[in-house]
Amino acid sequence: MPVLKTLLYLLMNEAFTGERIGPRVKDNLDLWQSLLLTAVKSETAKYGSESTS
């Protein structure tokens, strides 16, 4: 868990240090959200199917 929290901090730090979010930061946030949601869905499918077996 500490590695995940550190990674999220490094990814999100730039987005929250400025007063407003520019287009590049917004695009990065959208990309990271998509990647993280895909990873969570993959993990859920993997471990969800193992627990029901």
Q: What percent of the chain has pLDDT over 70?
A: 89
Residue range 17-32, pLDDT digits in tens: 877 878 988 898 899 8
What pLDDT sits at residue 34? Answer: 92
Name the pLDDT band for 46 (thresholds 50, 70, 90). confident
Per-residue model confidence (pLDDT) at position 52: 54
Residue 13 has pLDDT above 60, yes or no: yes
CA-to-CA dists, residue 6 to 11, 13, 23, 33, 40, angstroms: 9, 10, 24, 16, 17
pTM of the predicted structure, to 2 decimals:
0.60
